[in-house]
Structure 1
Amino acid sequence: MIQPSKFTTFGLMRVKSKLRGHSKKITGLAFSNVLNVLVSSGADAQICVWNTDGWERQRSRFLQIPSGRPTSNILDTRVQFHQDQQHCLVVHETQIAIYDASKLEPVKQWPPRETSAPPITHATFSCDSQLIYASFLDATVCIFSASSLRLQCRILPASYLPQNISSNVHPVVVAAHPSEANQFALGLTDGSVYVMEPLESERKWGIPPPAENGSTSNMSTPPNGASSSDQPER
């Protein structure tokens, strides 16, 4: 039994354990009640898995940053558990990946092909963990299938931002609706929040709406057979 004297106490709380493993600030934390682990991610592009029984580090690994890909000042690495509590979404400005948390090995990965592609600013699972909503520094929003990381839909900035808005405005956070799988919210740098959903006639993402007045839609679906690493056009 651990003696109370080994804890640092502050009133009615105590620090049970202090975990050391990252060299830079922590940018993401996620618990799994199936694997009994805590996953941490940091600005050092490292992921660590901690056992919640003894708070020991089970394993860790650094993300592989694509060669020739410059990094911006975002640097945050985010983590979020899938609904099954065994797979973990890992988001870095250069990539989106699904990891098997028990082994800390990537199962699927989506890195933009072009080195000039805008950084990913945020991404999250839909409430049913079937989709991944991702935002980019150029204000593009991409929607992926969570099972394959195949791009299902791309939303261009012109389809939801006013024409007179600054080119520096872009989403910095994405939140999925807790019960509507095809609805999500974007938090932008200008302080505004946009709630997004597909057209009522489509009901789900990935089906381009009909053209109006001869114009093409700002939402598009990649052709059949497209690779999960296909980069959305910008």
Structure 2
Amino acid sequence: MPQLGPVVMIKLPRSLVDVKPKIQDESVEKSRIWKLTEINESSQCRSLRLPDSLRLIYTNSGVAILALASNAVHKLWKWQRNDRNLSGKASASVQPQLWQPSSGILMTNDISDTNPEDAVPCFALSKNDSYVMSASGGKISLFNMMTFKTMTTFMAPPPAATFLAFHPQDNNIIAIGMEDSSIQIYNVRVDEVKTKLKGHQKRITGLAFSHTLNVLVSSGADSQLCVWSTDAWEKQASKFLQIPTGRVAPSLADTRVQFHLDQIHLLAVHETQIAIFEAPKLECQKQWFRQEASGPITHATYSCDSQSIFVSFEDGSVVVLTASTLRLRCRISSTAYLPPNPSLRVYPLVIAAHPSEPDQFALGLTDGGVHVLEPLESEGKWGTSPPVENGAGPSATAGAEQAQR
């Protein structure tokens, strides 16, 4: 069994809120200076490193992380319940164990007749953590999470699957985003494509269901969002993301989508911005543009309570935004969780939020490592929310890194 990589423990200081001296003018008091929490050292938060991953997801129970490595093998890291971890849930304070069934079988995706360089790894976990649907450029595989056995494989490329999502009400229905820009609605039970959705110009990079609105939202490398009814599978709306003035949209940019807990508001993640839309009409509520210095946004996700948004960047940094306002609350530098090595350019490719701990997230890095990060126990959360009285918030020096209505 592979050994765990080095474990780094790190800590978080309380954010400082500098209040101006008391003066008579109440409006000035309300516009007090707010200081962003900056985390630059390993002593300022808690971090745990796991090796060898390309994609990752927490199990819905929160007791394990499932990772998909570049060699198409899945690894399941499980936390045990013990004196140091009474809940048995994922924690940066306790090392997990690499779990395998007694048979020793591995969950390995089909990679025959595929070019690893072109493969887009993707997977989805069923709601009850019983099944994982996965692909690494070849056929799609359905695995049993208890036995790791392959239940079935289907849809040999081309086109290859690039994103997978289980229907929220029926585990037998899968939405499959494809390399050729189509979306196939597939019924596993009868091994049949129910319908094919066409509306994007480039490969599908994101899919999200809303069981409240009965819609599927898709996003593509064409920077477009589409809304599909899950009753008749008809397109209800579509919209291209608004690229900031003066910036050139890349020809291929992964756009991800995720529904807020309310199942109405939608988080859209693009390398230039974070945007919040209201479904099903796709009315843009807020946008937050990255600063040039941080490099492109690589991924982002809501926290489990949808109160925060964790955003990762190509320079290795991670920021925490207050979801309702898209205002910066905390910035975590790569130096807080990565050992210094100027010759290696390592940064997060994917960020996953713990399903029940609102301040814990995991980063999947370009070097195959996974880092679980959380604030110090003494702090409990990432930073302090900026004041909102009279519109006060981050100062003008935040540049493009601010929310816009």
Could you list the runs of 5+ residues in structure 1 that have no partner in the other structure? 1-6, 208-220
- Secondary structure of the 1:231 match is coil
**1:51 alignment counterpart:** 229
Residue 191 (1) aligns with residue 368 (2): yes
SS at match of 2:198: coil
1:109 aligns with 2:287: yes
Kindly provide the amino acid, as one letter, of the partner of residue 319 in structure 2: C
Please tell me the residue identity of whatever aligns with 1:82.
H
Per the TM alignment, residue 159 of structure 1 is displaced from its structure 2 partner at its CA by 1.2
Distance in 2 between the 1:167 and 1:10 partners? 42
- Alignment partners' CA distance in 2, 1:9 and 1:97: 32
**Aligned partner letter, 2:247:** R
Offset, 1:65: 0.9
- DSSP-derived class of the 1:41 partner: strand
State the shift of 1:70 in Å: 3.8
Asked whether the 8 Å contact 2:187–2:194 carries over to 1, the reply is no
Letter in 2 for 1:27: T
Q: Residue deviations 1:127-168, cap 9 Å, x none? A: 111110010000010000111111100001111110126442
Would the alpha carbon gap of residues 151 and 14 (structure 1) be closer, same or farther in structure 2, given more than 3 Å must change?
same
Structure of greater relative contact order (alpha carbons < 8 Å, 6+ residues apart):
2
* Among 390, 393, 400, the residue aligned to 1:225: 393
Counterpart of 1:129 in structure 2: which amino acid? S
TM-score, structure 2 normalization: 0.49
Distance across 2 between alignment mates of 1:103 and 1:229? 30
Q: Report the residue type matching 1:89 in the other structure.
A: L
Query: 1:108 aligns to what SS in structure 2?
Result: strand
Residue 68 of structure 2 corresponds to: none
> Which of the two has higher C-alpha Rg?
2
Does residue 308 of structure 2 align to residue 140 of structure 1? no
How far the C-alpha of 1:185 sits from its partner, in A, is: 0.3
Over aligned residue pairs, what C-alpha RMSD do you find? 2.5
Letter in 2 for 1:67: T
The verdict on how the C-alpha distance between 1:9 and 1:84 changes in structure 2, with shifts beyond 3 A counting, is closer
In structure 1, distance between residues paired with 2:288 and 2:293:
15
Match of 1:210? none
Contact kept? 2:304, 2:357, Cα under 8 Å: yes
Which residue is 1:204 aligned to? 381
- Give 4+ residue runs of structure 1 displaced > 4 Å after superposition: 7-11, 71-74, 114-117, 221-224, 227-230
The answer to whether the 8 A contact 2:256-2:268 is kept is yes
Aligned counterpart in structure 1 of residue 272 of structure 2, from 94, 100, 122: 94
One-letter code aligned to 1:34: T
Letter in 2 for 1:103: K
1:124 aligns to what?
301
Give the SS at the match of 2:321: strand
Partner deviation per Cα, 1:96-148 (whole Å, 9 max, x = no partner): 01110122011111012x45541000000001111100100000100001111
